[in-house]
Structure 1
Amino acid sequence: MSGGANQHAARLALIAGNGSLPCQIADALQKAGREFRIVAIKGEADQKTRDRAQAELGWGEIGRLYKFLKSNGCREILLIGGVSKRPDFTSILGDFGTLKRLPTIIRALAGGDDSLLTKVIRLFEVEGYRVVGIKDVAPQLLAASGVLGNRQPTDSDWRDLELALTATRKLGELDVGQAAVAVGGRVVALEGAEGTDAMLERCADLKRNGRIRGRGQSGVLVKSAKPGQDLRVDLPTVGPRTIELAAAAGLSGIAVEAEGALIAEKDDTLKKADTEGVFLVGFDGVQCGEIPDP
């Protein structure tokens, strides 16, 4: 369903992958009275998203997608939600609009060091669409600055936070991951292709096996965008599951960049953080030295 009319903004197309974020964004847009349409990615979007979508299209149906956007008057696009499956382009065979754009698509996707999502953005921009980010349409879902829950970080937590942030910056330079964990003044885990959840599960195993030492809860997970990352897509995200896994790994807390990370299911996430005794912090700045003193 779309929200009420808004005379000051173009109609938005929400191209939705998996997870709960697409519906949360839709709720925020509807509350703000913003006109939008939902296009669910076939094989990715969950049932709740599909129930609300006006269209469900596969990876190869670019021609049908552009036709939908034009017929619905959508000039702006938001890409939201995860993509976990290998794209299936078999639908391209029945989509004339995709076939006639193949030279443009190949030029946009081939070569260069840009991420796949950045190249997808380029595809839309070539057709004259404006790709927007969360900050443009639902900034309230981004992490605010400061301590966001009831638990306060200790001095040692702030030191671990700085160390883990330094590690995420190095990871980002290599385009590897967006997260790292530091405990007791040393980096104990770096995020790779497995993702944050699997990394935290690995930390819990290391702690159970005595490879990570510490009394009670200690250590910090930091999630941070990569240097120079296009913040319209693939923002670092934390949610209730992140809190649960951080607590299971015995961590003191989680830090994300203020206005540069999403908090999924925000109320539930903050409530769970308080219940689990895990702090949640939004830090300012893009350099380690800009983290405020405790």
Structure 2
Amino acid sequence: MPPLGLIAGEGVFPFLVARGARSAGRRIVCIGLRGSARPEIAAEVDEFRWVSIVRLGSWIRLLRRAGVSEAIMVGRVVKTTMYARLAWLHNIPDLRTARLWFTRLRRDKRPFAILNALADTLESEGIRLIDSTTYTQDQLVTPGVLTRTQPSAAQLEDARHGWELCRQLSRLDIGQSIAIKDKDVIAVEALEGTNAMIERAGQLCKTGGWTLIKVANAHQDMRMDVPTVGVTTIEKLAAARAACVVLEARKTTFLEREKVIELADRHGIAIVGMA
């Protein structure tokens, strides 16, 4: 079996993929996105190299040289870095990336457009991105109440009311999460990401008891765009006095499922999977 390529961004998800793939007998060649991936990922794989996020040509050369024909791309890249002052000086693209940016992505630089362009470019070079949950199926959110802590009737009503609102925001490619209480939307996720939105919701709703709803992107591609919830998310929710989390079942991944559910119960936060 050829080695599995792992394109690693921020967080725990790359570690879970590496461990799952190794348990399945795959040899792993990992390229870590500099400024996003954790250095410790190198100890979880067979080969490791750092790459720049804007040097797609080097991704392809390193993976092809290692004999990779299948790859998984996981881990967050902080979107706000794209808009930092002098961002291009810190991330000088290679010719391959620049060509992609100024041709195919010239008029549409939304995340799903960028991810699809990356996937197509890799595949044109014989490197096919596969479902990023292939080796982490045990971490997917399942339908129903997943914690011992049960949601209140009011929280379930907020979940039902806010679900379609959140789906509509996703279809418009604005964000994938909202904070809601008593059918009032407290905060909407945009470029800042879920964790920052949680902090803002806590500032706006001092009484607490609100519900976070998080859905998959309407344009979701399981190869590269799977929403995640980890220990950090629960810690942020607890600090912001949230009481319930509603996640899209089968399309959202826990980052260490048992730890997340145990921590949620410890803080009295209910987790609900909705389909």
TM superposition score category, shorter chain reference = 0.7 to 0.9
Partner of residue 290, structure 1: none
Partner of residue 178, structure 2: 180
Equivalent of residue 82 in structure 1, options 76, 95, 99: 76
> The residue matched to 1:68 in structure 2 has which SS?
helix
Partner of residue 291, structure 1: none
The number of equivalent residue pairs is: 263
Q: Does 1:269 align with 2:275?
A: no
- Structure 1, unaligned runs of 5 or more: 1-6, 93-97, 285-294
**Rounded Cα–Cα distance in structure 2 between residues aligned with 1:20 and 1:157:** 29
Q: Does 1:23 align with 2:15?
A: yes
Q: Letter of the aligned partner of 2:228 in structure 1?
A: T
Partner of residue 85, structure 2: none
**Rounded Cα–Cα distance in structure 1 between residues aligned with 2:39 and 2:114:** 25
Partner of residue 109, structure 1: 105
Tell me: CA distance 1:57–1:273, structure 2 relative to 1, closer, same or farther (3 Å): same
Deviations 1:33-92 (Å, cap 9, x if unpaired)? 223211111222112124545211113433332222222221111111111234754362
Partner of residue 151, structure 1: 149
**Rounded Cα–Cα distance in structure 2 between residues aligned with 1:140 and 1:80:** 16
> The residue matched to 2:242 in structure 1 has which SS?
coil
Deviations 1:78-136 (Å, cap 9, x if unpaired)? 111111234754362xxxxx55x865675443345653222211211222321112233
Larger Rg: 1
- Structure 2, unaligned runs of 5 or more: 83-87
Tell me: CA distance 1:104–1:126, structure 2 relative to 1, closer, same or farther (3 Å): farther
**Rounded Cα–Cα distance in structure 1 between residues aligned with 2:220 and 2:199:** 26
Tell me: CA distance 1:109–1:126, structure 2 relative to 1, closer, same or farther (3 Å): farther
Partner of residue 138, structure 1: 136
Tell me: CA distance 1:63–1:150, structure 2 relative to 1, closer, same or farther (3 Å): same
C-alpha root-mean-square deviation of aligned residues, in Å? 2.3
Equivalent residues of 2:186, 2:204 under 8 A apart:
no
Partner of residue 49, structure 2: 55
Normalised TM-score (structure 2): 0.86
Tell me: CA distance 1:254–1:68, structure 2 relative to 1, closer, same or farther (3 Å): same
Normalised TM-score (structure 1): 0.81
Equivalent of residue 70 in structure 1, options 57, 64, 69: 64
**Rounded Cα–Cα distance in structure 1 between residues aligned with 2:252 and 2:65:** 33
- Percent identity for Structure 1 against Structure 2: 28
